[in-house]
Structure 1
Amino acid sequence: MAEDLTITRNTSKEEQYQSIIPQIEALLYGETDFIANLANVAAALKEQFNWFWVGFYLVKQEELVLGPFQGPVACTRIKKGKGVCGASWQQAEIIIVPDVEEFPGHIACASASKSEIVLPLIVNGEVIGVLDVDSEVLNKFDETDKTYLEQVISIILNK
């Protein structure tokens, strides 16, 4: 099912999330294919917020493997504990990085990336992947992003 999103950019970040989240729910409604849903979520978030990179890495054996994303080409495989994504996987926690240059072991998939937020996708107590969002602006992500992106993850995982 094709959907047109209503993009709102001249409002607060919170209002933008409040606008896009019901649209994401509608976009995923009735679709059971996990990869298709990840692809549409990445596209919807990229369109709404115009972030540098939005995408998913999925746990396959002992690595995170690149999944659906929007943005420039990316690292294909990430080891557990390596970089922000690998750390989020290992710790099963959300990580907000105001300046990626200050994060020990940061993996520079794209030099234009300046700040990042990574959220684990947890099913039955096990991390199955991560949502990775990068910005070319320092200190772009905060508790508002954390709160609303957790809601997005919940929508995805409860399909």
Structure 2
Amino acid sequence: MSFENLKPEVTQIIASENTSRDEKLLQICQLLQDNISYYNWVGFYFANHETKTLHLGPYVGAETDHTVIPFGKGICGQVAESNANFVVPDVAAQDNYIACSFTVKSEIVVPLFVKGQNIGQIDIDSHVIDPFTEADERFLEFVNEQVATLY
């Protein structure tokens, strides 16, 4: 399914009543993983600015031990500090990478802003080398804009 076709589905999940925020986030993760072939792990991390750590929120995919990530550590931790998208075409070529699984070949992380503050991020791992394009970035920015309305 194309990104354009997924946008209304994301909007519909966000607008659904009688669904908790975490349930909505989980539904978004599932929607993305089910409909984009190279999205093999999809999850959200949320920032604790006092402790300078990220905390795992709803996700779909293989279990991870990385439930708390210090700012600056790994791709997610770097995005917490840079406030910028980070696309890693090949995780093996990345120095500051926290290995989750040998099956992960690439990663994209897009920060989640609420009222100008980076409160977290969407993190996607792929079992394919270099699948992410600018279209992925724009789509995930859209997803995060929708998610931001929940906060």
The C-alpha deviation readout for 1:124-149, integer Å capped at 9, x for no partner, is 22211110001000001110100111
Look up the equivalent residue of 2:28 and give its one-letter code: V
Instruction: Write the distance in 2 (CA, Å) between the matches of 1:101 and 1:79.
Output: 21
Q: CA RMSD in A?
A: 1.4
Find 2:29's aligned residue among 39, 42, 45.
42
Deviation at 1:36, TM superposition (A): 2.2
Structure 1 residue 144 and structure 2 residue 130: aligned?
no
**In the alignment, which residue of structure 2 is the partner of 1:24?**
10
Structure 1 residue 73 and structure 2 residue 63: aligned?
yes
The C-alpha deviation readout for 1:31-53, integer Å capped at 9, x for no partner, is 47432221111111111113210
| Structure 1 unaligned residues grouped into runs of 5+ | 1-7, 9-15
Runs of 4 or more above 6 Å deviation: none
**In the alignment, which residue of structure 2 is the partner of 1:12?**
none
Aligned partner of residue 140 in structure 1, secondary structure: coil
Find 1:155's aligned residue among 140, 146, 150.
146
Aligned partner of residue 111 in structure 1, secondary structure: coil
The C-alpha deviation readout for 1:6-57, integer Å capped at 9, x for no partner, is xx3xxxxxxx111111011112214474322211111111111132100011
- The TM-score, its normalising length taken from structure 2, stands at 0.90
The C-alpha deviation readout for 1:97-148, integer Å capped at 9, x for no partner, is 1001111210001121101100011112221111000100000111010011
Aligned partner of residue 39 in structure 1, secondary structure: helix
| Structure 2 unaligned residues grouped into runs of 5+ | none
**In the alignment, which residue of structure 1 is the partner of 2:121?**
130
Q: Is the 8 A contact 2:90 2:106 kept in 1?
A: yes
Instruction: Write the distance in 2 (CA, Å) between the matches of 1:59 and 1:91.
Output: 13
